[in-house]
Amino acid sequence: MNKPASASLDELDFAILSCLQQDGRMSFTVIAEKLSVSIGTVRSRFNKLIEDGTMNIIGRVNPDKVGFQSYAQIAVYVRPITLKEKVAQKISKLSEVSFLASTSGDYDLEVDVMCRNNDHLLEFVNEISKIQGVHQIKTTLYFKVYKYSQPDLNLLK
pTM of the model: 0.79
Q: For the domain with range 8-51, which CATH number is right: 3.10.20.600, 3.60.21.10, 1.10.10.10, 1.10.150.20?
A: 1.10.10.10
Supply the DSSP string of 49-90, one letter for each residue: HHHTTS--------HHHHT--EEEEEEEEESSGGGHHHHHHH
Average pLDDT value for residue range 134-156: 89
Question: Could you tell me if 72 and 113 are in contact, meaning their C-beta atoms sit under 8 angstroms apart?
Answer: yes
pLDDT for residue 141: 95
Residue spans of the domains in the chain: they are 8-51, 64-142
Residue 47 clears pLDDT 90, i.e. is over it: yes
CATH class (in words) of the domain with range 64-142: alpha beta
- If one compares 64 and 40, the residue with the highest pLDDT of the two is 40
Question: Could you tell me if 127 and 94 are in contact, meaning their C-beta atoms sit under 8 angstroms apart?
Answer: yes
